Amino acid sequence: MISAVTVYCSSSNKAPHEYFTAAADLGRQLAERGIGLVFGGGSVGLMGCIADAVMANGGTVKGIIPKFLEEREVAHYGLSELHVVETMHERKMKLAEWGDAYLVLPGGFGTLDELIEVITWKHLGHHHKPIILLNIKGFWNPLLLFFDRIADEQMISRQHGDFYTVCDTIAEVLDLLQG
């Protein structure tokens, strides 16, 4: 049973409009289904958008932000809970621990780092939680091709696709989360 999902996504306010529309719709639907949000604690970009949508629809949101990003990412003080931690490592550990699944929306270096980390941990048996990539407008396609290439070159196993699920729609994501 998925009661809370950790979402990794962009903190950029310059991301394409379609990503914001999807983040808002996803946040609304998570709240309507009683699935809590765990995220990086920022009020900007897709992070702020999804958190605002969950909160506006009566959902629960836990944010985790390190002190040094509290001002840069403009910490979101309108959440159910905001945890200000000392380091990025502490933030990443709480994000990894507090969700029952990982959902990855479009994002930059930080999002990519978090995605690769949870895939690696799953590969190593550190967790068995679902990892879902929301592939809005084919955003993740180049990375998926790269994963295939490193499998072709035998740096990872052909079963790498077993560690994550790619969804093209929010409906697919919600079906997976609700089992």
Domains of the chain are: 4-178 (3.40.50.450)
Task: For the sheet with 36-39, list strands across it.
Answer: 81-85, 61-66, 36-39, 4-8, 101-104, 131-134, 165-167
Asked whether the predicted pLDDT for residue 72 surpasses 80, the reply is no
Q: What is the pLDDT of residues 6-64, one digit of tens each?
A: 999 999 999 999 999 999 999 999 999 999 999 999 999 999 999 999 999 999 999 99
DSSP codes of every residue in 151-175: HHTTSS-GGGGGG-EEESSHHHHHH
pLDDT level of residue 75 (50, 70, 90 thresholds): very high
| Mean pLDDT, residues 137-165 | 92
pLDDT of 73 reads 65
Q: What is the mean pLDDT of residues 99-113?
A: 97
Across 119-131, average pLDDT: 94
Render pLDDT for 79-90 as a digit per residue (tens, 0 to 9).
999 999 999 999
Query: Residue 170 pLDDT more than 70?
Result: yes
Encoded amino acid at 140, one letter: W
Quote the CA–CA distance of 36 and 60 in Å, as a whole number: 5
Cβ 40 vs Cβ 68: under 8 Å: no
- The whole-chain average pLDDT of the chain stands at 95
